[in-house]
A and B are shown apart, each in its own frame.
Chain A
């Protein structure tokens, strides 16, 4: 598994992946539409799928002493690592004093807080659960699975940005930047991470089943 993850990073991951992953830093912009970060995040899966196809990754990988299931696990694990990396930038906001500036400027959609991170994890989990099982039916076709997986992801991003403006009381804190009401924020983060883990593992399971019957 370790060797496969190394292979993904050194041979398969598209150079644009690193640039897109670093765009997680956009969370440091005060009062911005952070939903865009998730768009960049899911693009990573597309670029890497395309790059794997164009570099004939399967021709190399099938010769290796590695199971198809392990190949799936490694690719999704790399994606999960990148997704987590993008969301981790939020930890820099408080030390850099960005939360204070954001409070003064007022919210634009969902604010940068742990609610956003929790919901972001859930969103990435949703994308992984939809994209990878479709993609691994035929890893030589990336576009259609990506387009299909983008539909629920786009709806989720729109919902994420709209949530603070909904009239329900529990939605209001989502638009407040910073780590206020930490207990509630951590709870949502925990739920988001759990959903992410379950959805991604489910995606791996379904993707492995799909890939098991694929003929190169």
Chain B
């Protein structure tokens, strides 16, 4: 959890002020403080051998939501449904209080997506992609983009294939922020980044959320990312949303104890993990045993629930 007052600033203060002003101008007259930026209800998608089942969540302004789950849990499918690249079998998606269906243009003008690992048009130059992208957005701000390029040391003359994975992610984040997106949706933006670059990207997301009141939804496997910046969490397992809500409350539900101690206390074992010191068990925190679970503990224990 991060405190906005201690958030590292990734923009010069003047830039932040200008951005905030532009942001305020952009913010839709249709959105209010109470309206979720994104509301997904009962989203279901069937594939042979996999079902994304009844996913419901909302993203509020100014909050960062971490989307976690194992590979194949359905995170990317959920995000693709939200982007409109995949059609859900049932359920509703609403952006800024309006149904996505029929308001796609409205929603995407205000949302920044990064779902493809920023791995497109590898032979094209950064400046070309920026020049093409800006034509799609009513509120594209060239000054902001130039500032992010400077901040991220993005060279407009470089081809995408010459950028590291981290720089590609930074490019897509810069593109999203330069049209004053009120909502950022990113699929594993920190995957493949070195620790320093990861910190930088997370700082940017925190700036977007806490200084510009944007909502952020990002999937990740790296629990330390969530510990650093997430306010809320969505935990997906086998296509089902098994945990959602404030991160602190989610973590407070669980404790970790050695398996024999859990058995002796007759505590319900929610998950198991084999360690050098013996099996450890994830138990409800109200069992009164063990120590508070970290997010890493929860993620590594819970998938083995069936074993228990």
Query: B80 interface residue, CB < 8 Å from A?
Result: yes
B109-124 interface code vs A (CB 8 A; 1 in, 0 out): 1001111110111111
Tell me whether A65 and B114 are in contact in the complex, defined as CB-CB below 8 angstroms, given that A10-B128, A215-B85 are known contacts.
no
Q: How far is it, in angstroms, between the C-alpha of A35 and the C-alpha of B84 when the chains are bound?
A: 42
Q: Contact at B136–A64, with CB atoms within 8 Å?
A: yes
B125-163 interface code vs A (CB 8 A; 1 in, 0 out): 000110111011100000000000000000000000000
Q: Contact at B132–A216, with CB atoms within 8 Å?
A: no
Query: B108 interface residue, CB < 8 Å from A?
Result: yes
* Residues of the B chain whose Cβ atoms lie less than 8 Å from the Cβ of A10: 124, 128, 131-132
Q: How far is it, in angstroms, between the C-alpha of A39 and the C-alpha of B58 when the chains are bound?
A: 52
Q: Contact at B116–A56, with CB atoms within 8 Å?
A: yes
Q: How far is it, in angstroms, between the C-alpha of A11 and the C-alpha of B124 when the chains are bound?
A: 7
B93-117 interface code vs A (CB 8 A; 1 in, 0 out): 0000000000011011100111111
A1-24 interface code vs B (CB 8 A; 1 in, 0 out): 011001100110000000000000
Query: What distance in Å separates the Cβ of A211 from its nearest Cβ neighbour in chain B?
Result: 11
Out of A11, A62, A215, which one reaches B132, CB within 8 Å?
A11
Query: What distance in Å separates the Cβ of A8 from its nearest Cβ neighbour in chain B?
Result: 10
* Residues of the B chain whose Cβ atoms lie less than 8 Å from the Cβ of A11: 121, 124, 128-129, 132
Out of A3, A6, A57, A216, which one reaches B85, CB within 8 Å?
A216
Q: Contact residue range for chain A?
A: 20 to 34
* Residues of the B chain whose Cβ atoms lie less than 8 Å from the Cβ of A92: none
Out of A2, A59, A65, which one reaches B116, CB within 8 Å?
A59
* Residues of the B chain whose Cβ atoms lie less than 8 Å from the Cβ of A57: 120-121
Query: A187 interface residue, CB < 8 Å from B?
Result: no
Tell me whether A63 and B87 are in contact in the complex, defined as CB-CB below 8 angstroms, given that A6-B132, A216-B80 are known contacts.
no
Q: Contact at B132–A7, with CB atoms within 8 Å?
A: yes
A187-216 interface code vs B (CB 8 A; 1 in, 0 out): 000000000000000000000000001011
Tell me whether A65 and B109 are in contact in the complex, defined as CB-CB below 8 angstroms, given that A11-B124, A216-B80 are known contacts.
yes
* Residues of the B chain whose Cβ atoms lie less than 8 Å from the Cβ of A168: none
* Residues of the A chain whose Cβ atoms lie less than 8 Å from the Cβ of B80: 215-216
Query: B83 interface residue, CB < 8 Å from A?
Result: yes
Query: What distance in Å separates the Cβ of A72 from its nearest Cβ neighbour in chain B?
Result: 15
Tell me whether A59 and B119 are in contact in the complex, defined as CB-CB below 8 angstroms, given that A64-B108, A65-B104, A67-B104 are known contacts.
yes
Within 8 A of A (CB), among B148-197: none
Q: Contact at B104–A3, with CB atoms within 8 Å?
A: no
* Residues of the A chain whose Cβ atoms lie less than 8 Å from the Cβ of B113: 62-63
* Residues of the A chain whose Cβ atoms lie less than 8 Å from the Cβ of B112: 63
Query: What distance in Å separates the Cβ of A180 from its nearest Cβ neighbour in chain B?
Result: 46
Can you list 30 residue pairs at the A/B interface with Cβ under 8 Å?
A3-B132, A3-B136, A6-B132, A10-B131, A11-B129, A55-B121, A55-B122, A55-B123, A56-B116, A56-B120, A56-B121, A59-B116, A60-B121, A62-B85, A62-B113, A62-B115, A63-B83, A63-B108, A63-B112, A63-B113, A63-B116, A64-B136, A65-B107, A65-B108, A65-B137, A66-B105, A67-B104, A67-B105, A215-B80, A216-B80
The 9 closest A-B pairs by CB, nearest first: A59-B116, A65-B108, A63-B113, A3-B135, A216-B85, A62-B85, A56-B120, A60-B120, A215-B86
* Chain A residues near B (Cβ < 8 Å): 2-3, 6-7, 10-11, 55-60, 62-67, 213, 215-216
